[in-house]
Amino acid sequence: MVFPFKSVEDFRIEINEEHELFRKAVREVIENKVLPRWQEIEKNNEIPKEIFEEFAAQGFFGVGIPEEYDGQGGGQTLVAILTEEVARAVPSLAVAIGVNHLFGIPILLFGTEEQKKKYIPPIARGEAFGAHANTEPAAGSDVAGIQTKARKENDHYVISGRKIFISGAEKADYFVVSARTMPVEQALKETGKRWYGISLFIVERDTPGLKIGQRFNVIGMRGEQPYEVILDEVKVPAENLVGKENEAFKYIVTTYDHTRIGIAAQAVGIAQATFEQALNYALQREAFGQPLIQFEMIIQKLADMYMKLEAARLLTYWAATLADQGRREFVIASSLAKAFATEAAEWIARQAIQIHGGIGVDEETGVARYLRDAVITTIYEGTNEIQRLTIVRQLVRQAFGLKI
């Protein structure tokens, strides 16, 4: 036994020629259509609509979505490759893709066939955008702590509450919204489970009472910064309930089990970009009469950066492979990948700035933006502190069948 897994074969990564051909195709689009516009995106804090139109034409929004719902298929591995290549140029654009998965995954896994046929194809074709409204002022990583409420009235639900840090909210056509359909006190009394009593709903953008509030000017991810979503007595048809009433906590955390692989891939893209920039600069820049790359300290930095980069990539592809195989072990792997890759990206970006010296903190060079973006990846989709908690809980459950 390779503790806590059963065999060394559990660590196999399945990558084939089709994956590489796809990566090259994505790289070509990114190099030609996206990378030349990174300064424009940073300055305007907006992703040009032409880029989204290009992505729709290329079928990128459908990657990871089953073909029966107008997607391209491909699973988590293809999504990770796409995300990595996009984040290497503009990390916020990778967020825009990931938000659609945050919307679509709970519907694909737990929704009705009618919900899938109505809401997933427009997303896959790039004709509509989705968003995932869960985080609240008093509840982020603590999903069970949400306070938005939904009450049943005849053939619909009425939702009231406030969501914050919702990526993609400003352009979303559809939202999945979490709300309590049973108070915490009642859930504890009846089931002994604090997380019980949360339900998930599909809410369309033009529903009366749904408002997009303030934009949060976070330090990074310019072009795809989060918004506040206000729900004031929003009436939602009962058929827009996803899965079973009161059991959506499981749907939400299962969604994050999948999407945190995408966050790891974002981090790998950031790490790749900053490593490339640092290596190129060290080869070209001279100091004290010799190239930087001849200094032992720079050599050590570059070697450590490269080790962390490749370790992060391998963990990410491994988690994606396990997810594509339908292995439950992917949960611990995705937390390992997310925590390691995002912290590696932050560290690598920091070293890249140090190697560049003074121009590393000049916004015109484009190095510092990656550090800001990397910091954010360590926080969303479950902070890395939560990932460590998940890792140990899954470890104990997987190895000993115990809950802690």
Per residue in 289-320, pLDDT tens?
999 999 999 999 999 999 999 999 999 999 99
Is 1 within the bounds of a domain? no
pLDDT band at 1 (very low <50, low <70, confident <90, very high): low
Count of structural domains, the chain:
3
List pLDDT tens digits, range 329-364.
999 999 999 999 999 999 999 999 999 999 999 988
Task: Name residue 153's beta-bridge partners.
Answer: 156
Residues 238 and 190 in one domain: yes
Q: Are residues 13 and 104 in the same domain?
A: yes
Structural domain contains residue 2: no
The CATH number covering residue 230 comes to 2.40.110.10
Residue found under tokens 């720079």: 298
Cβ 293 vs Cβ 282: under 8 Å: yes
Give percent of the chain with pLDDT exceeding 70: 100
169 and 190 inside one domain: yes
DSSP 398: H
Last residue of a domain, one of 192, 227, 246: 246
* Amino acid in position 296: E
For residue 35, what is the domain's CATH number?
Answer: 1.10.540.10
| Same-domain check for residues 217 and 289 | no
Note whether 231 and 258 are same-domain residues. Answer: no
Classify residue 220: in a domain, yes or no.
yes
Residue 182 pLDDT greater than 60, yes or no: yes
Average pLDDT over residues 238-261: 97
| Torsion, Cα of 346, 350, 351, 352 (10° steps) | 100
Same domain, 238 and 266: no
Nearest to 102 by CA among 252, 294, 291: 252
Instruction: Say if residue 59 is in the same domain as residue 188.
Output: no
pLDDT band at 48 (very low <50, low <70, confident <90, very high): very high
272/340 same-domain check: yes
How far is Cα 230 from Cα 384, in angstroms, rounded to an integer? Answer: 28
Asked if the structure places residue 393 within a domain, the reply is yes
Mean pLDDT of 40-68: 97
Residue 3 falls inside a structural domain: no
Query: Are 291 and 392 in a shared domain?
Result: yes
Instruction: Give the residue among 344, 331, 303 at the shortest CA–CA distance from 393.
Output: 331
DSSP string computed for 7-19? -GGGG-----HHH
The pair of structure tokens assigned to 399 is 């190895």
- Is residue 260 located within the same domain as residue 360? yes
Q: What is the pLDDT of residue 236?
A: 98
In a domain, 155, yes or no: yes
Q: pTM here? A: 0.96
Both 240 and 277 in one domain: the answer is: no
Q: Are residues 110 and 164 in the same domain?
A: no
From 86, 91, 52, 58, select the one nearest 72 (Cα to Cα): 58
d(CA 85, CA 89): 7
| Domain limit, last residue, from 223, 246, 269 | 246
Point out the residues that are catalytic: 381
Tens of pLDDT, residues 253-279 = 999 999 999 999 999 999 999 999 999
Mean pLDDT of the chain: 96
107-123 average pLDDT score: 98
Host domain of residue 92: 8-128
Residue 229 falls within a domain, yes or no?
yes
Domain boundary among 193, 227, 246: 246
What CATH number is given to the structural domain containing 289?
1.20.140.10
